[in-house]
């Protein structure tokens, strides 16, 4: 099935979301043939600069059994993709969103967001209620998309989730991940915590869990967890740059962010947003509120 972002009149709310978010020069479609999936493999190899892409026989089998591969095209050129496979937690099926990548020459044009809205539409048509995926909590562009724009939430922190990863983006640091849950169908379960619509208070020394100076983490301070209604975990706005220039600072960020999240998630806090700060331009802040226990 081909998904073109020119929804007809009278279409569903999900389709109108796509119409609003997608310019006419980007088209998204579902990919199923070995030839199309070979192009996805080649793009994956280019993006991550490694020789370990998802095998074609795996993606072919996946799309025949509840999975999904979407391709983003500009001028008939494949510039991005999203790969998901079917998952099961022992009670219900869900869609596991495994990889999303954009060609380096086409980034910062909102193509990743467009792929996620298309993924939501296709997942709803397949009967899914939920999409899950992981991402590095220190990659704030991804965090801003996953939580702030899409409305996903996080309550699981995975320490060194994938072990050693030798690719350019992940090499040299533990592969910690946040697990995102995106409830895509309407109803009371679509909002698993109160107050999502309320704007958070501004980060202050009284509700921040990591002390910083000039973009460098100084230490974890867990005292606010006992009394604040909203918590903030600061993260660097430019983690890849820090990792290249001062690897020891990057590792400090990894360990301190790990400590803050694991402490809060064990006490039923939930990450509900990632915000940018005008006051601290070298930082972003995760917003945490109490979820369901």
In this structure, what CATH number is given to the domain that contains residue 142? 3.40.630.30
Contact 273, 252 (CB under 8 A): no
Task: Tell me the average pLDDT of the chain.
Answer: 86
Q: Tell me which residue range forms the domain holding 233.
A: 210-290
Whether 66 is in a domain gets the answer yes
Contact 138, 236 (CB under 8 A): yes
Which three-class secondary structure state does DSSP give residue 16?
A: helix
* Location of structure tokens 């360990």: 255
| Measured distance CA(138)–CA(178) in Å, rounded | 10
* pTM attached to this predicted model: 0.84
What domain count does the chain have? 2
Whether 201 is in a domain gets the answer no
Residues 123 and 267 both lie in one domain: no
What confidence tens digit (pLDDT) does each residue in 204-242 have? 777 999 999 988 999 999 988 888 889 999 999 999 999
CB neighbours (10 Å) of residue 231?
23
Q: What is the mean pLDDT of residues 175-186?
A: 94
Residues 130 and 272 both lie in one domain: no
Over its C-alpha atoms, the chain yields an Rg (Å, rounded) of 19
What confidence tens digit (pLDDT) does each residue in 114-160 have? 999 999 999 999 999 999 999 999 999 999 999 999 999 999 999 99
Residues 77 and 172 both lie in one domain: yes
Residues 247 and 115 both lie in one domain: no
Residues 176 and 42 both lie in one domain: yes
| Measured distance CA(269)–CA(211) in Å, rounded | 19
Residues 224 and 154 both lie in one domain: no
Residues 130 and 44 both lie in one domain: yes
Decide if pLDDT at 74 tops 70.
Answer: yes
Residues 68 and 132 both lie in one domain: yes
Instruction: Tell which of 125, 155, 190 closes a domain.
Output: 190
């Amino acid at each position: 099935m081909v998904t073109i972002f020119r929804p007809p009149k009278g279409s569903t709310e999900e389709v109108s979301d796509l119409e609003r978010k997608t310019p006419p020069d980007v088209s998204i479609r579902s990919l199923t043939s070995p030839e199309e999936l070979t192009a996805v493999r080649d793009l994956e190899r280019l993006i991550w600069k490694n020789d370990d892409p998802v095998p074609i026989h795996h993606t072919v089998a996946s799309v025949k059994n509840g999975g999904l591969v979407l391709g983003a095209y500009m001028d008939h050129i494949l510039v991005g993709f999203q790969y998901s496979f079917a998952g099961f937690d022992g009670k219900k099926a869900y869609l596991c969103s495994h990889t999303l990548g954009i060609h380096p020459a086409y980034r910062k044009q909102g193509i990743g967001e467009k792929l996620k809205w298309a993924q939501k539409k296709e997942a709803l048509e397949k009967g899914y209620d939920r999409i899950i995926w992981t991402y590095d909590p220190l990659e704030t562009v991804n965090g801003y998309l996953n939580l702030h724009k899409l409305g996903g939430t996080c309550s699981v922190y995975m320490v060194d989730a994938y072990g050693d990863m030798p690719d350019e983006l992940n090499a040299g640091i533990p592969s910690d991940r946040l697990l995102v849950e995106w409830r895509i169908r309407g109803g009371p379960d679509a909002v698993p915590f109160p107050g999502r619509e309320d704007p958070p208070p501004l980060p202050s020394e009284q509700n921040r869990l990591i002390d910083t100076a000039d973009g460098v983490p100084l230490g974890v301070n867990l005292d606010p967890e006992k009394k604040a209604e909203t918590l903030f975990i600061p993260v660097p706005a430019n983690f890849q740059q820090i990792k290249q220039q001062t690897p020891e600072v990057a590792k400090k960020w990894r360990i301190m962010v790990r400590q803050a999240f694991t402490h809060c998630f064990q006490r039923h806090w939930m990450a509900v947003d990632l915000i940018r700060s005008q006051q601290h331009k070298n930082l972003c802040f995760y917003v945490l509120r109490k979820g369901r226990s």
